[in-house]
Amino acid sequence: MKKQTIFFIAFAISFIANLNAQQQEFIKVEKDTICVKTEVVKTFLETTKLIQIAEKFGSDSVFRLINNQFPIHKIDTITSLKLLQYIKKYEKEDPNWTNSKNKFFVEMAHYWKNEYVGKKVYDFTMIELAKIQTDSINESGKVFAINDNLLKGVMSQRPDFIAEELIKCYEYCKKLAEAYQEKYPSEFDISIDSIKNKRSQIINAFETCHQNCYKIMTTLRKIESPYYDSSMLAYHNSKVRESKQKKNKEFILFFKPLERFSDVIKPKEITLSKNYDSLAEINFQDEPEFIKNTDRCFKGSYFLIFNNDNNRGIMRSHCAVFEIELKDKNKLIMKTIQTWAFL
């Protein structure tokens, strides 16, 4: 097992060393295979190796590898927190949501209650709130929209003193919306929903202010702040067009902090044909019960990141991600975290 692991790490490191700075991707998940350049790899990687790779080749290599499909915090809290230290700021989200550092942070912020994670959420949110409160009335209608994922992180982590800061930003955005309406009354002569294709920048800014207020008020509700006012929540929602009202409701009213959909899925217990001391020793293709329970999502190619200290791991197969644990040498506890097909 150790020889195989050393070989894989040596191969990956050798490959990365030959790439220039713009091409470093380490490992990439493509369809049903784990690829290093053009080579197909069916292998495993111990969590502690992630730190070694980050130190030698930069954290981007590791974050691209684990992406949001390997919730490392579920199997190795120490490594997760060490990796989180590499994230110094919350990057602006791109439309395709491809920033792997953001994904790693969001996964932990939303689904793992931890003091250090909570501090990161607080720091990043404070930067966001300060940025929003630099806005002033302008004809270009430029207003920063508050980040949804940071607010969801606040709901899950509930960092100390964040409510007071959210309230300050809420009041600022509320006053800014009122100021826009007072300064440009002609822009509001017709209802917001009657404006179709030619929406003015002033109206857009006005709506963004109210959306910020709506989302902050919803967050205050989730963290049980006495400042929460349901009538004001309805008021802010009424100030945006119907299409945005629907998005507002979908945004966080239905978000359950620290709970993902997969948490309600009952784990499966699989009896293995042999006894094993480590997950890395298992040839999953040769285990009939494993194949039987994953036949729709296991086509022989897989990648496993595991913690050798507790025999727990995260496996990415053809169309699913599993959390697995080896118990009593021949029992495999398996839980589906994410899937792209019906199991």
pLDDT per 10-residue tile (average), the chain, 343 residues:
47 40 39 37 77 88 79 93 93 64 90 95 96 81 88 95 97 94 77 54 89 95 96 93 78 74 78 94 88 72 85 86 93 86 51
Query: pLDDT value at position 247?
Result: 76
Query: pLDDT value at position 20?
Result: 32
Nearest of 74, 100, 77 to residue 87 by alpha carbon:
100
Pairing of strands 331-339, 303-307: unpaired
Pairing of strands 33-36, 312-316: unpaired
* Extended beta strands in 43-168, E state: 43-46
83 vs 88: CA distance, rounded Å:
11
316 vs 77: CA distance, rounded Å:
19
Query: pLDDT value at position 293?
Result: 81
Neighbours of 276 (CB within 10 A): 17
Give just the sign of the alpha carbon dihedral 211, 102, 339, 279.
Answer: negative
Query: pLDDT value at position 29?
Result: 42
Considering the entire predicted model, what is its pTM? 0.80
Query: pLDDT value at position 256?
Result: 80
Pairing of strands 331-339, 43-46: unpaired
297 vs 321: CA distance, rounded Å:
9
* DSSP state letter for 58: -
Query: pLDDT value at position 96?
Result: 52
Query: pLDDT value at position 298?
Result: 67
- Say which residues have a Cβ less than 8 Å from residue 224's Cβ, sequence separation at least 6: none
Which two three-digit tokens encode residue 239? Answer: 């100030």
Query: pLDDT value at position 68?
Result: 61
CB 83 within 8 A of CB 77: no
Give just the sign of the alpha carbon dihedral 156, 160, 162, 163.
Answer: positive
Pairing of strands 312-316, 268-271: unpaired
Query: pLDDT value at position 135?
Result: 76
Query: pLDDT value at position 33?
Result: 37
CB 238 within 8 A of CB 211: no
Question: Using alpha carbons only, what angle is made at residue 48 by residues 43 and 51, rounded to the nearest 5 degrees?
Answer: 105
Query: pLDDT value at position 253?
Result: 66
262 vs 150: CA distance, rounded Å:
22
Three-state SS at 329: coil
Which two three-digit tokens encode residue 128? Answer: 């966001």
